[in-house]
Amino acid sequence: MSKTNNKRLGRGLSSLIRSDLNTQVEKAPEAAKPPEPARHVVATEASPPPPSTVASALKVATPATSRPPVSELRVDQIRTNPSQPRRTFDPDRLAALAESLRQRGALQPIVVRPIEGGYELVAGERRLRASKLAKLERVPVIVRNVRDDDMLELALIENVQRENLNPVEKARAYRTLIQKHGLSQEEVATRMGEDRSSVANFIRLLGLAERPLEMLGAGELSVGHGKALLAVADPATQTLIAERIVAEGWSVRRTEQAANEVSQPKDEDAAQAKATAQRPAVVEMQDRLTSILGTRVAVKEGRKRHT
Looking at 54-205, list the stretches that DSSP marks H as alpha helix, in order from N- to C-terminal side: 54-57, 91-104, 125-133, 148-161, 167-179, 185-192, 196-204
CA–CA separation, 9 and 5 (whole Å):
7
Beta-bridge mates of residue 70: 25
Contact 193, 9 (CB under 8 A): yes
CB-based contacts of 113: which residues, under 8 Å, 6+ apart?
Answer: 38, 119, 120, 122, 143, 144, 145, 146
Phi, psi of 170 (to 5 degrees): -65, -45
> Which amino acid, 94?
L
Expressed in percent and rounded to 5, the helix, strand and coil fractions of the chain are 50, 10, 40
Q: Are strands 70-74 and 25-27 parallel, antiparallel or unpaired?
A: parallel
The sign of the dihedral angle between the CA atoms of 219, 220, 224, 229 is: negative
Catalytically active residues, by annotation: 125
CA–CA separation, 176 and 171 (whole Å):
9
